[in-house]
Amino acid sequence: MIEILDKHLLKTGNLNHRKSFKPISYLIRYYQKEKNIKELLALKELIKNHQILTLIYSHRLNKILNKYV
């Protein structure tokens, strides 16, 4: 899912008007519920590569990861 998100959805460059991205919100909730830290860390790396995603999700994702680490 992360690979599809990175290759097909984020490469368009039409990100500045978005306030949230359903695939990322879904993955955060899903991985959090499953306590899948490996995938949360992979998602964090993906988010760091896109400035708008960093602004939207980095604080939330760091807060979740701090619970498990």
User: Residue 50 above 70 pLDDT?
Assistant: yes
Q: How confident is the model over 15-30, as a mean pLDDT?
A: 79
User: Residue 26 above 90 pLDDT?
Assistant: yes
**Residue 6 has which token pair?**
């990175």
pLDDT of residue 23: 87
Q: Per the structure, how many domains does the chain have?
A: 1
| 54 vs 63: CA distance, rounded Å | 13
Closest CA to 1 of 54, 45, 43: 43
Note down the domain range covering 52: 21-68
pLDDT of residue 38: 95
pTM: 0.72
Residue 42 lies in a domain: yes
Residue 4 lies in a domain: no
Residue 58 lies in a domain: yes
Of the chain, the percentage scoring pLDDT greater than 90 comes to 43
Q: How confident is the model over 33-52, as a mean pLDDT?
A: 91
